Every structure is written in C-alpha cells, then in structure tokens.
Chain A
Amino acid sequence: MTGRTLYDKLWDSHLVKQNTDGSSLIYIDRHVLHEVTSPQAFEGLRLAGRRPWRLDTNIATPDHNISTDKSERAAGVAGMVDEVSRIQVQTLDDNCDFYGIKEFKINEMGQGIVHVMGPELGATMPGMTVVCGDSHTATHGALACLAHGIGTSEVEHVLATQCLVAKKMKNMRVTVNGQLGTGVTPKDVVLAIIGKIGTAGGNEHAIEFAGSVFRDMSIEGRMTVCNMAIEAGARVGMVAVDQKTIDYCEGRQFVPKGEMFQRAASYWQTLVSDADAVFDTEVVLHGDEIAPQVTWGTSPEMVAPVTASLPTLAEQPSEEKRKGLARALEYMGLEGGQSIQSIAVDRVFIGSCTNSRIEDMRAAAAVAKGRSVASTVKQVLVVPGSQMVKAQAEAEGLHEIFIAAGMDWREPGCSMCLAMNADKLGAGEHCASTSNRNFEGRQGNGGRTHLMSPAMAAAAAVAGHIVDVRTLMGENH
C-alpha cells in the first residue's frame, strides 16, 4: 500500500460511512458560528423541530457586521446603530442562549474574527475536522486540521447531525523551498502562489503547503497562507504537524492538560504526509525568488512583485484575456504598463482573518514606529483580530505606536475586509489592504483594493503610495 497524505489521514479518521453512490458521511469535530450565515440555519432547525446533535462542539462569536468604533462598541449590542445589523447580532445571541451554545459575545474576552478566535482559544486542535459558514475556514488548517467553509444549509446540517455529506477531494502539494528574503512575509508567499496557479488552480483539491519555507514559518504565518487557499480555488489548505504546532497548542483554553495533553500530542505527531504518499497535483516555488507582492486588479491572481509594472493590453495572448484586463484596469482606474509603486492610496486597512494576529500587528508597528501617515491618506484602520490580540498589542504598547503615527486603533471584527459595517471605501478610492479579496466593491461600492502584507500596508500608509517596504527597512528614523 502506498503512503497516505495528511489529507487522506484526516479524511479516513472522520469517515462515518462510505455510500455506494460515491458520497461519504464525514464527522465534524468543531463547528464555529457567526451572526451572518447562521440565522437561517437556526430557523430551519426550529421549523423542523430538531435540536443540535451535540453542544460541546459548537463555538460562536459575532464578527462580520459589528462596529469597530470604540464608543459604539462600548454600548454593546443594544448600542449598535445599524438596526438591521443589530437584529442579526441579537439573533445570534438569542439562538446561542436558547440552545445553550457557547458564545463569546460582542465585548467579551475571547470574541474575535472566527478564524482568529478558534485557534487562539485552542478550540481548534490538530487532527480535527473544523467547519464554519465562512470560506476562510481553511485558516485552521495551519494546525493540521481538515477545515473548510460551508454554506448555511450545511451549517444547519452540522448542527442537526454533526456530519456532512462530502466527496473526497484531490490532493495537491504546494512546496516552497529555500528561504524568504528580508521583508518577505507569509502573505507574499501565498499571493505568489495564487499568482502562479490562478484563482481556480486549486479547485476540487485540498492543498498541503510543504517545504522549508513553511517549516521555518511561525504558526500564525501558516494561518495567513492557509487562509488564502480559497483564493487559489481550494476549500482546504493545510500544514503538517511539527513541534511548533504542538507548542502553539499547549496551554490554550480548550486544549487538554497534563497526561491527556501528552496523549493528544503523541497522536498529533502522526499528522504528516507519509514519505511515499502520492499527490494528484504538485506545484513548486522557490522562496528566494519571492518579492513582496501587491495585487493591482480585481482578482487575487492579478498580482505582481512590488517592483514590477502592470501588464499591458498588447502583451495579452487572447481576446478573452485582453477583455478581462481592460475591464480590471478600467475599474481600478489604472493604465497598463504603469509601475505599481506609482499607485497612490487613499485609505489603508490593516486587519482581517488573514493578517490581524499579534505578529501582524508587530510587523505593521515596526514600520509605523517613528513615522507618520502621509497627509494625502484619509484614514488608516488598524483592527486587531480579537480581544486577545488587542489586549496583547496594548500590553506591548503597539497601539501607542499606531496612534502616534496617526492611525486609528479599533475594536476587533472583520471591519473593512468585507465592509458590512461602517468601515468602507468610497467610490474610486484606492486602499492598501491586508485582507484577502480585491473583488469589485468588496471593500465598499466602487472601492479599489490592493492586497499586500501588513508591513507593506504600513509602508504605503506613511509613503502615501504603494512602496517596497524593503527600501524603508534600512532607513534610520
């Protein structure tokens, strides 16, 4: 028998039943809920007269549409200005209270963006199946979980049965060898991968990220990479367990202690692909060749090194490509051939489940320290991913650095990642953003998003335009 991949192992250990029609019933260990994709699921459950199959598997928090403004947040749910959003958050509270589901409420310690909260509380552990009604659930795969986003009907399905009907995906391995240069971060690695394989490159695959670059990467960095597997078309992104994984988990709130932890850890060590495992698709990149990346268009695959220029219509190989590029350039208000660093930014957003953990805050603060936001930049939002990240950043004094530089230090939530609350771009505004999607209108109707790392976003904030953060790193300030 040939060896198994990490994904094969996770799949096999959660198989409840293999059906003759090719579908399977898969057991779900952890279910994370938030206010936006759960109300219709709870309503469905209620209408069918069903109850949750298990309670100790679910964990909930509001994140998508809550305000990040300090004074509005201080008044809790009742103080939410947008009536429709308030009802949605209240509905989550009511549903969790009614069924007895553990929820970290709007201002409680523990609250945060679902994919920041799960791992930091230890609700996500290696070897688990983790689902959430949000496509960036792949984030949790950094801890060697089988984690993916689901729709609302499936949220109801998991609540009622603790299972999902699924079909096994194909195995893809993305290997990044070598070492990253100074100023090159996990965000740049994942953007470079998407640039290489495209936004549909991972369709129907589960991706395992392997190679020395990921072995050297912190767990938080691995989360940034796995987070954007979905932008490469894959529902699942994973990194195998190593000592860092186990050290990361130890001592977190929901992780077992003592002898039980030792027992868990020895099982977790088996969560690696066998040496002779075969992948359906292999992709290889070299870490040394990756420069800081910036998206210039309306899809994450429209990405280039910060030192590059935009593609031109003339160099497109097909009419379809020309049309697509012309549309993206028009929407972005940019010219083919223009240098990326000539793009001025109006707003900057540092946050989202891709880049709002403590390491991201530190990276942004390191650039912001002793500098000021350019006068042409209207707003810089720094939004920690959770209450715990916020508390840690404040303990380290990072918030003071941001405030001194002229940035806004906000309350935890999704914020301008999807602009469901008041944090949004105006039409035509360019934004240096650490989030994960640059689709038309994603950060506000008519808004123009440029995805990049936290250090690059902070650099754009002080320069007033997109800039290679490496040129600032040697500078004395």
Chain B
Amino acid sequence: MKAFTVHRGLVGPMDRANVDTDMIIPKQFLKSIKRSGFGPNLFDELRYHDEGQPGADCSQRPIKADFPLNLPRYKGASILLARKNFGCGSSREHAPWALEDYGFNALIAPSYADIFYNNCFKNGLLPVILSEEQVETLFQEMAEKEGYQLSIDLPSQTVTTDSGHVFHFELDEFRKECLLNGLDEIGLTLEEADAIKQYETQRAQQHPWVFGAIK
C-alpha cells in the first residue's frame, strides 16, 4: 500500500452534507474487474451533463461548468474539503479508488460513514476529521483565496493553514502506523497465523457446526 506522511496541496470543495458513494462513483462503473481507472468518473453525475458509460472517453463529454471541481481554480486539487457524513451508503471500495485515481491524497470532513472511512486507509488515502467549525473556517479561507493550499502532517496529526491555524486531528494508532509505513495489512495478520489456528482449534471443539458446513 502507498504510504502517507506529510502532504501539501491544493484544496478542492465538496460543499454538501451526506455525499453518498453513488454520488462519488455511480454504479455503472462497478462492473469493472480492475482497481484503477475510476478517476475520470469521480462524481460523474455532478460533473458531466450526459450519463457516463464504462469505457467511454470522458475528455469528449460535456462538463457542468459550474460544478466546483470543474472550475479552473480547483484543477489539480489533492485535498478534498467536505461536509459531514461523507461517503455514506454502500461499501464499494470503488469510492476511495476513484478519489485516489482522480488525484486526491487526503480528505477533510467533520465525519465519514464507517465503511468508507475504513476503506480509505486501505488505499493510502487519509480521511482527516476536524470539527464542524474548523471545517467551516477552511471553507471560508478557501473561498477567499484562489490557489488555497493546506499542509497535512500525519506524524504530528495536524492540518496547518498559511494563515497560521494549526488543527489537531485524531485517528487510531493502528491505522496511523499502517498508513505511515504503507504496511501490507494481510501480511501483518498472517504473522498471527498461530494465534488464528489456535483459535480455530478451540472453536471447532466448542462450536463444531460452524466448520465444514459449506462444500
């Protein structure tokens, strides 16, 4: 997995609450059997006038010029500033894949849906949680200044603005370690193979019906 330590980049807005995974990447793109290539279809319905089809060349499609991320000033944004309960809805990991493929390295919002939040970490995408007031401050600063950038420091768990704010954010120790070092979580779990086997042996004695049922 891709590691994340510090990042400084242009901020782009997604100024609405409860952005769901269908909005992030509509279902027709879930037919792919690949992990990559979803970036051009990120926020597809909000971004284009026509209905997107898998495999179509998005550079030829009519764009909705007033959709914020289509504005020239947000071109190349790598930090997405969003509102509460971002990523609600389905478990599709295509949502973080699309955000990452588009070029985002980090997200900032007051809250995220649980499964989406979890999925971000598996893809080197840092979902920062700040308070609603702090997020509001960032939205205001961004509106006022073209080319608005932020610095995100994972080791010290801070978001720093050029105007001098330093906002601290919380996250789990385990997730932080994995992201900082780009660790392979499956490899880590397999180091516990003995503990897993021991659990299985004991469970097979207690609840034997759980094993061997499906053939």
- Is B114 among interface residues, defined by CB-CB distance under 8 A? yes
Q: Within the complex, which residue of B16, B89, B199 is in contact with A327, where a contact is CB–CB below 8 Å?
A: B16
Asked if residues B84 and A22 are in contact (CB atoms below 8 Å), the reply is no
A56/B213 in contact, CB under 8 A? yes
CA distance A163 to B191 in the complex (A): 12
Q: B66 to chain A: closest CB distance in Å? A: 14
Q: Which residues of B contact A149 (CB under 8 A)?
A: 90-91, 115
- Is the pair B31, A85 in contact by a Cβ cutoff of 8 Å? yes
Please indicate the chain B residues that have their CB under 8 angstroms from the CB of A57 in the complex: 214
Chain A interface, DSSP helix/strand/loop, else mixed: loop
Interface residues on A, range: 35 or more
- Nearest residue (CB) in B for A84 is B31
A248 on the B face (CB < 8 A): no
Q: Does residue B2 face the partner (Cβ distance < 8 Å to A)?
A: no
B101 in the interface (beta carbon within 8 A): no
* B30, B54, B199, B214: the one within 8 Å of A123 (CB): B214
- Cβ–Cβ contact A204 & B34, under 8 A: no
Binary B-proximity of A242-257 (CB < 8 A = 1, otherwise 0): 0000000000001110
A17 touches B (CB below 8 Å): yes
Q: In the assembled complex, how far is the CB of residue B71 from the closest CB belonging to chain A, in whole angstroms?
A: 19
Which residues of B74-97 have CB atoms within 8 Å of chain A's CB atoms? 84-85, 88-93, 96
Q: Are B51 and A445 in contact (CB under 8 A)?
A: yes
B57: interface (CB < 8 Å): no
Segment of B6-14, B149-157, B159-167, B171-179 engaged in the interface with chain A: B171-179
Question: When the two chains form their complex, are residues A27 and B196 in contact, meaning their CB atoms are under 8 A apart?
Answer: yes
Bound-state Cα–Cα, A40 to B189, Å: 19
Contact check, B30 vs A36: say whether CB atoms are below 8 A apart: yes
Q: Interface 1/0s, chain B 5-46, versus A by CB < 8 A? A: 000000000001110101100111011111100000000010
Closest-by-CB residue of B relative to A29 is B210
In contact, B192 and A16 (Cβ under 8 angstroms): yes
A420 & B31 in contact (Cβ 8 Å cutoff): yes
- Residues from chain B with a CB closer than 8 A to the CB of A199 are 18, 85, 88
Q: Give residues of chain A (1-43) contacting chain B, Cβ–Cβ below 8 Å.
A: 16-17, 19, 21-23, 25, 27, 29, 36-37, 39-40, 43
- Alpha-carbon distance between A57 and B91 when the two chains are bound, in angstroms: 21
Tell yes or no: A260 within 8 A of B by CB.
yes
Q: How far is the CA of A84 from the CA of B188 in the complex (A)?
A: 35
Q: Which of A37, A40, A59 lies in contact with B91, CB distance below 8 A? A: A37
Contacts A19-B174, A160-B190 known; A127 to B27 CB distance under 8 Å? no
- Please give the distance in Å from A145's CB to the nearest CB on chain B: 11
Spot the interface stretch: A151-159, A213-221, A362-370: A151-159
Residues in A lying within 8 Å of B, measured CB to CB: 16-17, 19, 21-23, 25, 27, 29, 36-37, 39-40, 43, 48, 50, 53, 56-59, 64-65, 82, 84-85, 87-88, 91, 102, 123, 125, 127-128, 133-135, 148-154, 156-157, 160-163, 165, 167, 199-200, 203-204, 233, 235, 254-256, 260-261, 263-264, 267, 299, 320, 324, 327, 418-420, 437, 439-442, 445
Between A and B, 5 residue pairs with Cβ closer than 8 Å are A36-B92, A37-B91, A37-B92, A39-B33, A59-B214
Q: Besides the contacts A128-B210, A152-B35, what 17 more A-B pairs have beta carbons closer than 8 Å?
A: A21-B172, A40-B33, A43-B35, A134-B91, A151-B96, A163-B192, A199-B18, A199-B88, A200-B18, A203-B113, A254-B213, A264-B207, A418-B22, A437-B22, A440-B23, A445-B26, A445-B51
